[in-house]
Amino acid sequence: MEMTNNAPLYWYVFYNDQLLLQKKAGGGYTIPFMDKSPVETYGRASLPQMVEMQDGTVAMAVSTDEPLEETDVYLPMGLRASYDHIDRYFYDQAGKAYEILYWDRHSRFCPACGTPTEQKGPIVKKCPACGYEIYPAVSPAILVLIRKGEEILLVHARNFRGTFHGLVAGFLETGETLEQCVEREVREETGLTIRDITYFGNQPWPYPSNLMIGFIADYVSGEIKLQDEELSSGSFFSKDNLPEIPRKLSLARRMIDWWLGDWELRVKN
């Protein structure tokens, strides 16, 4: 969608997963706020997308095939890394902008008949030939923190970036509830049986377009038998021998931090 006026807006500019940040005069970074894109040349980039944010405001998002370079004013930074350098509000908004751009790139042709689609609104495209409508797809994925006495199960997935250990995770399949997904993923990936599955919280995860849904569960029985193609290692860990754990930006880390706080309360009582 095109801008309807020249009022300044926040611009979320991406090259792959690199987000363009503006340097503050006193130090630190923010998102460019202006009446036109801070990038003069887009190469074969997408047209600017107007994004309606969660708080009702609007911003602009654009991706470019031209690498973003550091200048006296701007600095490109990975979206994940930006969590530690910009306000949480802007990180969350950048995540939505990134998801919209991902959807734009993957919805240019009708999946039913192959005709080029036409954009009809901020989050809808329509096929002019068959009328098929396309909206941004969100893939639900579960996380489960499994407690066994004073320990929790932590695993290292083969697709993790780094050496940290996280929680058992997996995508929701057609025809199953979230709780059934939790039981299935734990059984398939670790061979364990669990009970008392309770909801913890959720988090948009724009890598590229997921919703992470967290659950707490208790160990019942079984020996750990890792699904080799998914996990490279896994074990139960106590508070005093934790391996490297996920960064603060993730729901998995929030769940582990919650468990650590709960563990400390139980010890004191």
Per-residue pLDDT at 246 exceeds 50: yes
For 141-174, how does the pLDDT look when each residue is reduced to its tens digit (9 = 90+)?
999 999 999 999 999 998 887 889 999 999 999 9
Edge-to-edge order in the sheet of strand 124-126: 118-121, 124-126, 133-134
To the question of pTM greater than 0.85 for the whole model, the response is yes
Task: Write down the pLDDT at residue 160.
Answer: 82
Please check whether residue 264 is in contact with residue 258, taking contact to mean a CB–CB distance below 8 angstroms: no
Question: So what's the pLDDT on residue 269?
Answer: 38
Task: State residue 221's pLDDT score.
Answer: 97
How confident is the model at residue 3, as a pLDDT?
45
Condensed to tens digits (0 to 9), the pLDDT of residues 96-105 reads 999 999 999 9
Indicate whether 2 pLDDT > 60. Answer: no
7-38 burial: b if 16+ Cβ within 10 Å, else e: eebbbbbbbeebbbbbeeeeeebebbeeeebb
Q: Report pLDDT for 41.
A: 53
Helices (H), the chain: 79-82, 88-105, 178-190, 251-268
Q: How confident is the model at residue 45 (pLDDT cuts 50, 70, 90)?
A: low
Name the superfamily (CATH) of residues 139-268: Nucleoside Triphosphate Pyrophosphohydrolase (3.90.79.10)
Residue 43 pLDDT: 52
Tell me what pLDDT residue 263 has. 54
- The pLDDT value recorded for residue 7 is 82
Residue 264 above 60 pLDDT? no
Please give the pLDDT value at position 165. 96
pLDDT category of residue 13 using cuts at 50, 70 and 90: very high
Contact 31, 22 (CB under 8 A): yes
55 burial (CB, 10 Å; 0-12 / 13-18 / 19+) is exposed
Coil, strand, or helix at residue 251? Answer: helix
223 band by pLDDT with thresholds 50, 70 and 90:
very high
Rounded Cα–Cα distance for residues 80 and 91 (Å):
9
Q: Specify the pLDDT at position 66.
A: 85
pLDDT above 90 as % of the chain = 82
Kindly tell me if the per-residue pLDDT of 118 is higher than 90. Answer: yes
The string of pLDDT tens digits covering residues 51-109 is 999 899 999 999 998 889 999 999 999 999 999 999 999 999 999 999 999 999 999 99
9-104: CATH topology: Nucleoside Triphosphate Pyrophosphohydrolase (3.90.79)
Residue of 135, 150, 109 lying closest to 265 (CA atoms): 150
